[in-house]
Structure 1
């Protein structure tokens, strides 16, 4: 009897881990036929490759946003619509020159992706449910390459989570400003101003 009781207890403890599987991921980590598999490979930028399942289809720009990878266009003249940053990366440095940029890939619905380099931008590329979509960071010499083996799929984040991630990216940009150096400069200038006053009084 004690042995049977122990077995039932262990089985009950295992149930929460089974229920914790992402709702948007099918068995084996693949996305469902009603979803688009969205992949972002950060490559040299760090962060590895991430795969997210997004319900339905639509413009690539919206699918990336819904997957938690908001995009930012390049501010450079003549580069309107050219994506410069994905999920805030690269945080600094070039993002639209010939040897450092985000390459856009897509594949029609199927069991496995058959990647093609996109000839359309993220706002014009429209995908059906079951399709595959990817951004891959390319840096340095050599040809651009499609994403490699995709990571286990995750369910798409909520709209609030996407907005929170965008806010964190803006906060990180503020953190890059050398506030400590500026404060130190103010202290030094203040001390320099006090010395002549004291000398004048002596």
Structure 2
């Protein structure tokens, strides 16, 4: 049996099933361009090369009930025949033109759309069933190639290979974040401890000025001087430094002598304790001698 005879028999069976439609019936769904990304749809390849065009690949998403449904759901516009309806696909996307094919009866064996199928990764096989008698498996390929001036057994296969491209690798993971946001950069200059402020100018260890006041801080209570023991100021009493003392650079000038703390402490004490004790001892000895002399005079007899 020739290919032409087999196609005629399929058309008769489709007519008996009552699945006729007039020419110019539009596609029922838009589909999507390119190969189906996975095995959930049917990829449809239409080869226009014999009509001076190229090869178009589109995807019919989801399961397809028939080969005709896959062709239309992939987004291709088709035209059947007046006699047999869509049981014979006469035109796809308006080709061949109305001038060369009237689409009244079955297209001739020298100019018709040949129907093919294939598994993903397999090879094209000429379909032995019509478009309404074939249910394409999910993930498979449906092919259409126009056969012009060919023998019945020499119809051209679709020009695109029935093979889905390999899936793209997943994108790299996003960098980690802290608290749902980007990681904040470290502060400039490092995070080390803050250096203490320098000591107040003056003698080593002297307290700096009291915040909110002017002038040098008072000397600590009970600080001994270099001249030895002396009177200890009472608790809480502060001895202000002498004018021009160390620690008060603003109170001195080049025309005034600098008075040190030792000299200031001696001037504040007055007469030393040793000198006062010597004077007191001399007074006591003098008074004692005077009293002794008077006693001797009182006991001596008169001549």
**TM-score computed with the length of structure 2 as normaliser:** 0.37
**Counterparts of 1:151 and 1:106 in 2: how far apart (Å)?**
9
Gaps of 5+ in 1: 1-22, 154-202
Gaps of 5+ in 2: 1-30, 165-303
Match of 1:98 among 87, 103, 109: 109
Aligned to 1:137: 146
Higher Cα radius of gyration: 2
Aligned to 1:199: none
Q: Deviations for 1:34-59, whole angstroms, at most 9, x for unmatched residues?
A: 12110000122233000012212221
- Quick one: structure 1 residues 32 and 24, their matched pair in 2 at CA, closer, same or farther if it must change by over 3 Å? farther
Matched, 1:82 2:88: yes
Aligned to 1:126: 135
1:61–1:71 CA contact under 8 A, matched in 2: no
**TM-score computed with the length of structure 1 as normaliser:** 0.54
- Quick one: structure 1 residues 67 and 120, their matched pair in 2 at CA, closer, same or farther if it must change by over 3 Å? same
More strand by share: 1
1:65-80 equivalences under 5 Å are 65-75=72-82, 77=83
Q: Which has the higher contact order (CA 8 A, sep 6+)?
A: 1
* TM-aligned CA deviation for residue 149 of structure 1: 2.9
**Counterparts of 2:61 and 2:36 in 1: how far apart (Å)?**
13
Matched, 1:36 2:42: yes
More helix by share: 1
CA root-mean-square deviation: 2.9
Deviation >6 Å, runs of 4+: none
